[in-house]
A and B are shown apart, each in its own frame.
Chain A
Amino acid sequence: MNRKKKEKIIELMLKLSGLITVLTTIGIIWVLFSESFSFFKEVSLVEFLTDDQWTPLFANKRFGIMPLISGTLLTTTIALSVALPLGLTIAVYLSEYAPNKVRDVLKPLLEILAAVPTVVYGFFALMVVTPFLKTIFPNISGFNALSAGLVMGIMIIPFVSSLSEDALRAVPKSLREASYGLGATRLQTSFRVMVPAASSGIVVSVILAFSRAIGETMIVAIAAGQQPRLTFDPFVPIETITAYIVQVSLGDVPHGSLEYKTIFAAGMTLFVFTFLLNNLSFWIRKKFREEYE
């Protein structure tokens, strides 16, 4: 009897620990919604979505989120155009070409790229990459989207390469062997059999890298600038959603002021983007999971 009671109490405590994760989600949504709600009492949603200026910290306040979104998408696009080709090539190489021993060494080494703190990448972007870019493009600004995007691309390579390689390895050997049996080369087998068979896993890895790049903060806060502007010019200073939140947090903005609320409205926008992407990847994984006998 005593033992049964004890077991029940332990189970309850474990269950409560699991519930903390639900509370965290509720907390995030509540915080973002409630502060954004009071933000939208003062600024109309139409202005927020359509105005092409974001100047909440200036005397002439404008609240159009578009410049922050364009900055975020610009750095993300640059990052993905580095990480996708490199990451996918690496994944195919590690899975289809590299001998097992080579892969077992190279894969964990590459994953170090994702373990390096992002503030360190920020240093790299500002102190090494931007000066280097200046020698090629003399008119590039000291803060720019290109440098931040390129370095962010290097950071997310392992997200693409490791997850895609896992997906390729999950394809049954028999498919690969059948293709070889028909006389195909490794390259043909890789891109006509293995990659299509692992496509849902590869797409998921790309979406997760995308979502990661959108939410990345320190690299862009350090190297991309603090000037929200609606442009896709990679050579000028811009500002991302995340960098704006950092900028306001570093200053002395009183609680309850409109400026304070802007970081929650910006955070809400960011959350909506990543939430949609994460659920898209979840849905693809469930829906297109290849079942092999």
Chain B
Amino acid sequence: MSKGKINRIKDKAFGILGLVATLSGLIILAFFIGQILYEGLSRLDLDFMKDLPSRKPEKAGIFTAWVGTLWVLVMTTLFAFPLGVSAGIYLEEYAKKGKFSDLLEINISNLAGVPSIIYGLLGLEIFGRVMNLGNSLLAGSFTLALLILPIIIVATREAVRAVPNTLRMASYGLGASKWQTIWNQILPASMGGIFTGVILAISRAVGETAPLIVVGALAYVPFAPSGPMDEFTVLPIQIFNWISRPQHGFAVNAAAAIIILLGITFIMNGIAVYLRNRWQKKINW
């Protein structure tokens, strides 16, 4: 066989290998979701959503967990969204190139790489003890808000940067101030990208377990929280707790709760992808 022929065969072989590698990742994912559905789907009913935690697996439900997750989702968004977008706008539109903006930039990329459990230690000490919030929803939401702040900032910066300069110039030319330009032109034009990033960040927060365990969120909460100072649990912690128990009934419960958690995650990611595609198509500078 000639050398060229061997090279062509190698080339083809790698193409197949690459496809197999890519598909194997997806097949594992599909197999895994199939397993979860098989284990948990039959357990999923209205009572499971409405029931409080219990020592008997067939009586236990995820009511306190999903209400807690909902609280955390809303409160984390309330803190992280305005802060992250403001910081992103500042960095992109106001900060002058120099030591301070370099420092902020390195700092944000470092924060994005800090393991989530470290944020838990921060929350435990600062929010839990120094600010005396204990293991309340407020302490947990503050912690998660700090955790997702870098993601929102980076997404905001990219979205704002993508707005062409002509838009700014035109707005200034008409006599608008800097803030008027940002508020009336740049933000509406970059909303798609910003929302995409924010939704992805929140979906990350909803799936987080470790930092909330460290802050002191409990596995067993007898009642659903009714205010920001209440103790709480969330879906991932409930799942973790059920996985840790020996009885098979709890594993089934965990699978059923995972279906709900994955449902939330996938819906949020789907919305983010949809928004990104829609905005990309609509705006043609």
Contacts and interface: CB of A to CB of B under 8 A. Distances in A.
A and B bound?
A: yes
Interface of A: 3, 6-7, 10-11, 13-15, 17-18, 20-22, 24-25, 27-28, 31-32, 35, 86, 89-90, 92-94, 97-98, 106, 108-110, 112-113, 115-120, 122-124, 126-128, 154, 157, 185-188, 190, 208, 211, 214-218, 221-222, 242, 245-246, 249-250, 255, 263-264, 267, 270-271, 274-275, 277-279, 282
Contact of B8 (A185, A211, A279): A185
In the A-B complex, list the 6 residue pairs whose CB atoms are closest, starting with the nearest.
A93-B18, A215-B115, A117-B207, A17-B86, A14-B90, A278-B113
Nearest to B240: A119
Given A93-B15, A123-B255, A214-B115, A112 B269 contact: yes
Interface string B29-49: 100100110010000000000
B86 A267 contact: no
B203 interface: yes
Contact of A25 (B32, B107, B116, B251): B107
Contacts of B258: 120, 123
Contact of B121 (A18, A157, A267): A267
Given A110-B25, A127-B243, A216-B115, 17 more contacts: A7-B179, A13-B86, A14-B89, A20-B149, A21-B150, A28-B121, A89-B17, A119-B209, A128-B35, A211-B113, A215-B117, A246-B213, A249-B214, A267-B117, A267-B121, A278-B110, A282-B110
Q: Which of A110, A214, A218, A246 has the most B CB atoms < 10 Å from its CB?
A: A218
A31 B126 contact: yes
8 contacts: A21-B111, A24-B149, A93-B22, A112-B269, A116-B262, A249-B120, A279-B110, A282-B109
Contact of B95 (A18, A113, A127, A274): A18
B70 to A, nearest CB: 16
Contacts of B15: 93, 97, 186
B28 interface: yes
A128 B32 CA distance: 8
Given A18-B95, A118-B207, A93 B19 contact: yes
A47 B209 CA distance: 32
B7 interface: yes
Contacts of A282: 106, 109-110
Contact of A127 (B153, B208, B216, B251): B251
Nearest to B18: A93
Contact of B103 (A17, A22, A93): A22
A24 B111 contact: yes
B255 A31 contact: no
B26 interface: yes
A211 B21 CA distance: 23
B107 A113 contact: no
Interface residues of B, number: 86
A20 B147 CA distance: 12
A17 B26 contact: no
A261 B126 CA distance: 15
A275 B207 CA distance: 24
Q: Is the interface of A mostly helix, strand, loop or mixed?
A: helix
B172 interface: no
Interface string B219-237: 1000000000000000010
B187 interface: no
B24 interface: yes
A3 B180 CA distance: 10
A245 B121 contact: yes
Interface in B63-93: 82-84, 86-87, 89-91
B18 to A, nearest CB: 2
Contacts of B117: 215, 217, 242, 245-246, 267, 270
Nearest to A126: B243
A24 B240 contact: no
A271 B121 CA distance: 11
Nearest to A10: B179
Given A24-B122, A90-B25, A93-B19, A222 B243 contact: yes
Interface string B97-133: 0000001101111110111111111101110010000
B94 A11 contact: yes
A70 to B, nearest CB: 18
A192 to B, nearest CB: 12
A20 B115 CA distance: 18
B254 interface: yes
Given A124-B32, A157-B25, A282-B109, A270 B18 contact: no
A218 B116 CA distance: 11
Contacts of A187: 7, 10-11, 14
B112 to A, nearest CB: 8
A210 to B, nearest CB: 11
A217 B210 contact: yes
B244 interface: yes
B60 interface: no
B144 to A, nearest CB: 12
